[in-house]
Amino acid sequence: MWFLNQETGCTWEVTDQELVLRLQASRHYEQVEEPQPDETEQGVAQTKAQVVKNMKRTEKAQVKEEQEPVHE
């Protein structure tokens, strides 16, 4: 399901059912149809924020740990 953050204008794909229920109950988010790429945006590179899918917090922490450099 796709949700629009009404404060920031960002649209997110949410796959976690628990988060879907929370966002449906929130007045700051609106469920929307899957966004279609505009012709004007086809040549523009997507930012990391635009392509990140929602993950549970434990998954986010794991990804962050994998990305941090090891200091010896």
In tens, the pLDDT along 21-68 reads 999 999 999 999 988 876 545 545 555 555 555 555 555 556 666 666
What sign has the CA pseudo-torsion 4, 35, 39, 50?
Answer: positive
Q: What is the pLDDT of residue 53?
A: 55
Nearest of 2, 40, 45, 42 to residue 20 by alpha carbon:
2
Confirm whether pTM is higher than 0.95. no
Nearest of 1, 3, 16 to residue 54 by alpha carbon:
16
- Mean local confidence (pLDDT), 4-9: 92
Partners of 3 in the beta sheet? Answer: 12, 31
